[in-house]
Amino acid sequence: MEHTRTQGLKRKYKRIGKAIDQVLEKIIKEHERSSHVQSEGQKHKDFVDILLSLMHQPIDPSDEKTHVVDRTNIKAISLDMIAGAFETSATVVEWALSELMRHPRVMKNLQQELDNVVGANKLVEENDLSKLSYLDIVIMETLRLYPPGPLVPRESTQDSTVHGYFIKKKTRIILNLWAIGRDSAIWSNNAEEFFPERFVDKSLDYRGHDFQFIPFGFGRRGCPGINLGLTTVKLVVAQLVHCFTWELPSNMTPNDLDMTEKFGLSTPRAKHLLAVPTYRLHGEAT
């Protein structure tokens, strides 16, 4: 019985692997085609173009067979990027909007900041983000409560003692960022509450220097997509909140919103957020 189940799983993995491979092949072939059509100067090179340009370069000029990357490496790296980027960023955007819907005061403050800094006649752009300090703390607070990579694994390289606990060399350790973010010993009695202002006088950053707040992990294995992730999440949340007023459907009140999490790698919402947008800018923003 167990054997049949394993066989079934193997078949399923193979089928999924093949489907993913087809998508990645398509992406690579499109890039190969476009690099032939356009000359070097004309084309804006993206991540896949750069990997492809390394494909035929030997690591060691005296050994033509050892290439920096091969086609399989390019597919594996691209898949890592897709898997690491989409789900994490989308999950943070959905939690941020959910908390904003539940906290009209915070939503109003954020819209006010956007109106003051960006104005009501144009869309938020990437170069506005550094001027949006309230948006910054809204995203920090969202990442504190809903880190989309909640469990960070490590293995100890030497015997060590942490707070009186002896940890043997080569022990697997799982850091629970979700629990750290809700620990009242660190964040006071309102740790469970969405309150962005708690970050106002704290000089915490995202980059793994402050162990009470490490939504992107830390050290050598820390998230390499931190800049892209933060920019995407901030820009999407800012544009959605700047362009639209959001309301819950069917006369639901903010307190009725179900905030249950789904068990999984990125702890997304158990049920997707449903909200009704109304355009709020002056005329057609550009």
Rounded Cα gap, residues 75 and 202, in angstroms:
41
Q: State the CB neighbour count (10 A cutoff) for residue 86.
A: 12
User: Is residue 233 near ligand HEM by the rule CB under 6 A?
Assistant: yes
Give 214's contacts (C-beta < 8 A, 6+ positions apart).
152, 175, 177, 180, 208
User: Is residue 268 near ligand HEM by the rule CB under 6 A?
Assistant: no
215 versus 268: smaller Cβ distance to ligand HEM: 215
104 versus 224: smaller Cβ distance to ligand HEM: 224
Stretch that binds ligand HEM, among 57-65, 129-137, 228-236, 256-264 (CB under 6 A): 228-236
Stretch that binds ligand HEM, among 49-57, 83-91, 194-202, 269-277 (CB under 6 A): 83-91
User: Is residue 8 near ligand HEM by the rule CB under 6 A?
Assistant: no
User: Is residue 92 near ligand HEM by the rule CB under 6 A?
Assistant: yes
User: Is residue 93 near ligand HEM by the rule CB under 6 A?
Assistant: no
C-alpha closest to that of 229 among 83, 36, 37, 49? 83
Rounded Cα gap, residues 36 and 31, in angstroms:
9
Stretch that binds ligand HEM, among 13-21, 57-65, 226-234, 267-275 (CB under 6 A): 226-234
66 versus 231: smaller Cβ distance to ligand HEM: 231
Going from the C-alpha of 236 to that of each of 25, 84, 139, 239, 282, the distances in angstroms are: 29, 17, 11, 5, 19
User: Is residue 207 near ligand HEM by the rule CB under 6 A?
Assistant: no
User: Is residue 254 near ligand HEM by the rule CB under 6 A?
Assistant: no
Rounded Cα gap, residues 34 and 285, in angstroms:
33
CB of 146 to ligand HEM, least distance (A): 9
152 versus 235: smaller Cβ distance to ligand HEM: 152
User: Is residue 224 near ligand HEM by the rule CB under 6 A?
Assistant: yes
Among 111, 225, 273, 281, binds ligand HEM (CB under 6 A): 225
User: Which chain residues interact with ligand HEM by CB under 6 A?
Assistant: 80-81, 84-85, 88-89, 92, 148-149, 152, 215-218, 221-225, 228-229, 233
